Amino acid sequence: MPTLKLAPALNVSTWLNTNQRISLESLRGKVVLLEAFQMLCPGCVSHALPQAKRVRDLFSPDDIAVIGLHSVFEHHSAQGSEEALKAFLHEYRITFPVAIDAQSAQGGLPQTMSAYQMQGTPTTIVIDREGRLRKHKFGAEQDLTLGAEIMSLIGEKNLPLQTASIEKQDENCTDAGCQIPNH
Amino acid sequence: MPTLKLAPALNVSTWLNTNQRISLESLRGKVVLLEAFQMLCPGCVSHALPQAKRVRDLFSPDDIAVIGLHSVFEHHSAQGSEEALKAFLHEYRITFPVAIDAQSAQGGLPQTMSAYQMQGTPTTIVIDREGRLRKHKFGAEQDLTLGAEIMSLIGEKNLPLQTASIEKQDENCTDAGCQIPNH
Amino acid sequence: MPTLKLAPALNVSTWLNTNQRISLESLRGKVVLLEAFQMLCPGCVSHALPQAKRVRDLFSPDDIAVIGLHSVFEHHSAQGSEEALKAFLHEYRITFPVAIDAQSAQGGLPQTMSAYQMQGTPTTIVIDREGRLRKHKFGAEQDLTLGAEIMSLIGEKNLPLQTASIEKQDENCTDAGCQIPNH
Amino acid sequence: MPTLKLAPALNVSTWLNTNQRISLESLRGKVVLLEAFQMLCPGCVSHALPQAKRVRDLFSPDDIAVIGLHSVFEHHSAQGSEEALKAFLHEYRITFPVAIDAQSAQGGLPQTMSAYQMQGTPTTIVIDREGRLRKHKFGAEQDLTLGAEIMSLIGEKNLPLQTASIEKQDENCTDAGCQIPNH
């Protein structure tokens, strides 16, 4: 019988839109939507971030935490500064907490992105009330699907049996998202 | 403590896209999405029917039945015939069962529409596994919301306590739907 | 040097949204947008008719006449009656003149559709101030393109030299329009 | 009789997507679409820049020059660097020439923006073949309208008589664009 794995810890250099650092442990008991994005990723701006805002508006903060994860893996000088991200969050009216994914000392992918083995941005991660990884989707997800999946996890009382799977986006991603080169 | 009421029975003159008549009783154990529409209602064509198709595609037929209800309350000669509706369902590729709401002998609203006290079309009705009315919404509903509500009912094991409420659409409905005159 | 042909005459059984019959001759001096549609054609409802309404709103009636042409070539019993079309025009708030394309005595395509050798609906026809056919496009056209083409004809003073060409829609048309079978 | 004014000169610190500096004088004989934007302006990203790309795709480069003008009046540290703009142009696949509007020594609005008395971004400017200002619109413009206006100017042979007017956007601009504070 497959078992579910705990979601990897967030490795964050700076938090925005919140006064305190947030750990996944501190969110036990809530479902967590973790939306990995880059401010210059067209699919993040047009689809994934507006969707995360709708999730924040629809569900109770007692049931779900919505967190943005700014995982910069390209154009570091353009989108890598805290100041640039702050301006972006202001202009796009994103008010939920946003974590800046910690860059790796050796270069390469930022650390949380790497720990989750993400393929690029946007990536939508959903974690259950017990901290286990339940959804990992690269690219665009339908609202109807995400709404159903989140509600399913909100309603969970018992240990679920299914294992999280990484869905690879079928379609060519050039318009919808930013895939890590040679991934 | 409020109690939930059983959804009124469907009063149907003709069924399309199915070989047999369907009753709500026969669907006990499944959630039911009942989408009331008119083929010449712009909001039904542009929003509610495509949404019902997405619901049909996303969820298992073991968990939810999707049913269209053609509740003609105006332009009877244009959209009131079975033949016109068949052509419409063909062109818009609607393959789930569609019930033609029975016209009343005295004129006025068709009978199912009247029993549910609908305000117009589109109206989205959701019925739980035990046949109780759980959602009644006139006008457009967000995908994220509907997905979450349906999944909540799919996951229900115990008797719920909340009562179905009729949400009245806030905005002016002229573009989105067809309100019953003087309603 | 190619020469331009006069657009074929309209062969109309009934006019709606106007008190008098309209001939192309009577429109000499104006550009004419002729939008061929069927009320149960999804691409007509979602794209071509809203676009024709925008053309009507943008340009002066002194410069361009906008005319709908209801060319029913399938589902005659559902969409072939004047009463059905009237209800449709009312619900979709189409107020420009609409011609019902005359059915042929031998069956087959309606007569204006046949005279223009249309491939299906929607078909967008543009006729210049001197009555010559200048655009014939089956399927969806971009607003930017149509706006530019109409304005070019509005501005014409001299005899143009280019010949009207029939552009065949590249993409599979099942969602966008209704192609005549075996065309 | 009103006379048309020459469009003010561009005051540019750096040109991107071109090997040489461009002046309006050097474009005499062509219509010019000048699209003023900021990379963190939502209405620019979602509407004005995609529209400018469509204009570039539709019309001949012999008839119209399409130029972006990056007029940063806020969040200078986030969007003010050449490197940030280059990354943005790459990710959004903008290939027409883009001018970085010269900042003023005294602070305040960038110089070209100021010379044109722009109210914010996006602002769509159209200049005729003789270098005269013919359109100045703050906020979103319809494709049908812009296509018609550009084609009208492409077709011009004689001196036109109408004067360019500055259209003020009616609706509240918070979603569509970025208005200069206290403008």
From residue D123, alpha-carbon distances to A15, C97, D109 in Å are 34, 36, 14
Q: Which residues in A lie closer than 8 A to residue D78 (C-beta atoms)?
A: 81, 83-88
Q: Give yes or no for residue B174 having a pLDDT over 60.
A: no
* Chains C and A in direct contact, meaning 3 or more beta-carbon pairs closer than 8 angstroms: no
Residue A143 is nearest to which of B144, B149, B150, comparing CB atoms? B144
Name the residue of chain B whose CA is nearest to C178's CA: B91
Name the residue of chain D whose CA is nearest to C56's CA: D144
Residue C137 DSSP SS3: strand
Whether omega for the bond prior to residue C122 falls within 30 degrees of 0, making it cis, is yes
Which tens digit of pLDDT belongs to each residue from A156-177? Answer: 864 433 334 444 444 333 455 6
CB C125 within 8 A of CB C136: yes
- The model carries a pTM of 0.87
Q: pLDDT band at B156, cuts 50/70/90?
A: confident
Mean residue pLDDT of chain C comes to 89
CB contact under 8 A, A91 and D75: yes
* Chains B and A in direct contact, meaning 3 or more beta-carbon pairs closer than 8 angstroms: yes
CATH number of domain containing B138: 3.40.30.10
DSSP state of C180: P
Nearest-angstrom CA–CA distance, B64 and D77:
53
Mean residue pLDDT of chain B comes to 89
Q: What is the rounded average pLDDT of the residues D100-125?
A: 96
Pairing mode, if any, of strands B178-179 and B166-167?
unpaired
D81 touches chain A (CB under 8 A): yes
Q: pLDDT band at D92, cuts 50/70/90?
A: very high
Q: Give yes or no for residue B171 having a pLDDT over 90.
A: no
Q: What is the rounded average pLDDT of the residues B3-14?
A: 95
Q: pLDDT band at C177, cuts 50/70/90?
A: low
Q: Which residues in C lie closer than 8 A to residue D152 (C-beta atoms)?
A: 151, 154-155
Q: Tell me whether residue A1 is in a domain.
A: no
Which tens digit of pLDDT belongs to each residue from C96-110? Answer: 999 999 999 888 899
Residue D40 is nearest to which of A41, A77, A87, comparing CB atoms? A87
Which tens digit of pLDDT belongs to each residue from A132-156? Answer: 999 999 999 999 999 999 999 999 8
CB B150 within 8 A of CB A148: yes
Mean residue pLDDT of chain A comes to 89
For residues C104 and D182, the model is more confident at C104
Which tens digit of pLDDT belongs to each residue from A49-71? Answer: 999 999 999 999 999 999 999 99
Taking the CA of residue D53 and the nearest CA in chain A, the distance in Å comes to: 15
| Chains touching chain D, criterion 3+ CB pairs below 8 Å | A, C
Residue D148 is nearest to which of C51, C58, C142, comparing CB atoms? C58
Q: Which domain holds residue B17?
A: 12-156
Q: Give yes or no for residue C30 having a pLDDT over 50.
A: yes
What integer pLDDT is reported at residue B146 of this predicted model? Answer: 98
CB contact under 8 A, D54 and C142: yes
CB contact under 8 A, C40 and B77: no
CB A21 within 8 A of CB D68: no
Q: Which of C63, C151, C152 to mutate to test the interface with D (most CBs of D within 10 A)?
A: C151
Q: Tell me whether residue C174 is in a domain.
A: no
Instruction: Find where tokens 């968990």 sit.
Output: B63
What integer pLDDT is reported at residue B183 of this predicted model? Answer: 53
Mark which residues 152-181 of D lie under 8 Å from A by CB: 178
**Model ipTM value:** 0.85
What is the rounded (10 degree) CA torsion for A157, A162, A164, A168?
A: -130
Instruction: Find where tokens 């200069």 sit.
Output: D180
Among B120, B150, B137, CA closest to B32: B150
CB contact under 8 A, D147 and C152: no
> How far is residue C80 CA from its own chain's centroid?
17
Q: Is D120 exposed, middle or buried, given 0-12, 13-18 or 19+ CB atoms closer than 10 A?
A: buried
Q: What is the rounded average pLDDT of the residues C66-91?
A: 96
Q: Tell me whether residue B61 is in a domain.
A: yes
Q: Tell me whether residue B4 is in a domain.
A: no
From residue D117, alpha-carbon distances to D2, D11, D129 in Å are 20, 14, 22
Residue A77 exposure: Cα atoms within 13 Å on the Cβ side: 8
Taking the CA of residue D39 and the nearest CA in chain C, the distance in Å comes to: 24
Q: Tell me whether residue B114 is in a domain.
A: yes
Q: Which residues in B lie closer than 8 A to residue C77 (C-beta atoms)?
A: 81, 83-84, 87
> How far is residue A135 CA from its own chain's centroid?
10
What integer pLDDT is reported at residue C1 of this predicted model? Answer: 42
D82 touches chain C (CB under 8 A): no
Q: What is the rounded average pLDDT of the residues C124-136?
A: 97
Least confident of B54-63, B132-141, D153-162: D153-162
B33 touches chain A (CB under 8 A): no
What integer pLDDT is reported at residue D2 of this predicted model? Answer: 62
What integer pLDDT is reported at residue C107 of this predicted model? Answer: 83
Among A151, A128, A32, A48, CA closest to A94: A48
What integer pLDDT is reported at residue D168 of this predicted model? Answer: 46
What integer pLDDT is reported at residue D1 of this predicted model? Answer: 43
Q: Give yes or no for residue C71 having a pLDDT over 70.
A: yes
* C-beta contacts of B103-111 below 8 A and 24+ residues apart: B103/B13, B103/B72, B103/B76, B109/B71, B109/B73, B109/B180, B110/B11, B110/B71, B110/B72, B110/B73, B111/B11
Q: Tell me whether residue C1 is in a domain.
A: no
C96 touches chain B (CB under 8 A): no
Q: Domains in chain B: how many in total?
A: 1
| 3-class SS string, chain B | CCCCCECCCCCEEEEECCCCCCCCHHHCCCEEEEEEECCCCHHHHHHHHHHHHHHHHHCCCCCEEEEEEECCCCCHHHHCCHHHHHHHHHHCCCCCCEEEECCCCCCCCCHHHHHCCCCEECEEEEECCCCEEEEEEECCCCHHHHHHHHHHHHCCCCCCCCCCCEECCCCCCCCCCEECCCC
C64 touches chain D (CB under 8 A): no
Pairing mode, if any, of strands C123-127 and C31-37?
antiparallel
Q: Tell me whether residue B147 is in a domain.
A: yes
Q: What is the percent of chain A where pLDDT is above 90?
A: 80
CB D160 within 8 A of CB D130: no
Residue D131 DSSP SS3: coil
Name the residue of chain C whose CA is nearest to B86's CA: C78
C144 touches chain D (CB under 8 A): yes
Among B9, B2, B3, CA closest to B116: B9
For residues C166 and A81, the model is more confident at A81
CB A127 within 8 A of CB A98: no
What integer pLDDT is reported at residue A3 of this predicted model? Answer: 76
What integer pLDDT is reported at residue B160 of this predicted model? Answer: 39
Nearest-angstrom CA–CA distance, B142 and B54:
12
What integer pLDDT is reported at residue B95 of this predicted model? Answer: 98
Q: Give yes or no for residue C160 having a pLDDT over 80.
A: no
Q: Mark residue B137 as left, alpha or beta (left: phi above 0; alpha: psi -120 to 50; beta: remaining).
A: beta
For residues D119 and B171, the model is more confident at D119
* Chains C and D in direct contact, meaning 3 or more beta-carbon pairs closer than 8 angstroms: yes
Burial code (b: 16+ CB inside 10 Å, e: under 16) for D19-34 equals eeebebeebeebbbbb
Q: Which of D57, D66, D124, D144 to mutate to test the interface with C (most CBs of C within 10 A)?
A: D144
Residue C45 is nearest to which of B45, B77, B85, comparing CB atoms? B45
From residue C79, alpha-carbon distances to B77, C35, C75, C120, D99 in Å are 11, 17, 6, 15, 54
What integer pLDDT is reported at residue B107 of this predicted model? Answer: 83
Which tens digit of pLDDT belongs to each residue from B53-66? Answer: 999 999 999 999 99
Structure tokens at A105: 């000392």
Instruction: Find where tokens 């006290």 sit.
Output: B117
Q: Which residues in B lie closer than 8 A to residue C91 (C-beta atoms)?
A: 40-42, 75, 178
Name the residue of chain B whose CA is nearest to A154's CA: B152
CB contact under 8 A, C87 and B81: no
Q: What is the rounded average pLDDT of the residues C3-20?
A: 96
Q: Tell me whether residue B83 is in a domain.
A: yes
Q: pLDDT band at C158, cuts 50/70/90?
A: very low
What integer pLDDT is reported at residue D102 of this predicted model? Answer: 98
Q: Give yes or no for residue B49 having a pLDDT over 90.
A: yes
Q: Which residues in D lie closer than 8 A to residue A100 (C-beta atoms)?
A: none
Taking the CA of residue D19 and the nearest CA in chain C, the distance in Å comes to: 29
Structure tokens at C123: 């078909």
Structure tokens at A155: 């309603």
